[in-house]
């Protein structure tokens, strides 16, 4: 799949795959982020709305879903920025 839009000036966007089990709502992130809008989250191919479908806890080191992702759903977190 090609990239649409201007290429990133520096670095790359990191991606993390989460293991959904239909009961877990909180997951540790590989990077600490400053806000929900610093993430692009996809559950089963559907982009999730920040602050509605998920929030952050632990100072931005954990993502907490309002409803547990279903077992078998592919859950991806793309980091658009990380806390410095």
Please tell me the pTM assigned to this model.
0.82
Give the tens place of pLDDT for each residue, 12-69. 788 999 999 999 999 999 999 989 999 999 999 999 999 999 999 999 999 999 999 9
User: 77: exposed, middle or buried (C-beta count within 10 Å: 0-12, 13-18, 19+)?
Assistant: buried
Question: What is the pLDDT at residue 68?
Answer: 96
Residue 57 has what pLDDT? Answer: 96
Neighbour count for residue 55 (Cβ, 10 Å): 14
Predicted pLDDT at 13: 80
Strands 26-28 and 46-47, sheet pairing: unpaired
Question: Using alpha carbons only, what angle is made at residue 4 by residues 55 and 6, rounded to the nearest 5 degrees?
Answer: 90
Kindly report, residue by residue over 72-82, the tens digit of the pLDDT.
Answer: 999 999 998 77
């Amino acid at each position: 799949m090609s990239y649409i839009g201007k290429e990133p000036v520096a670095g790359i966007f990191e991606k993390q795959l989460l293991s959904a089990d239909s009961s877990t709502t909180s997951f540790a992130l590989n990077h600490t982020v400053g806000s929900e809008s610093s993430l692009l989250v996809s559950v089963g191919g559907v982009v999730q709305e920040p602050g509605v479908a998920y929030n952050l806890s632990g100072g931005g080191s954990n993502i907490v879903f309002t409803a547990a992702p279903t077992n078998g759903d592919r859950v991806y977190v793309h980091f658009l920025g990380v806390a410095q």
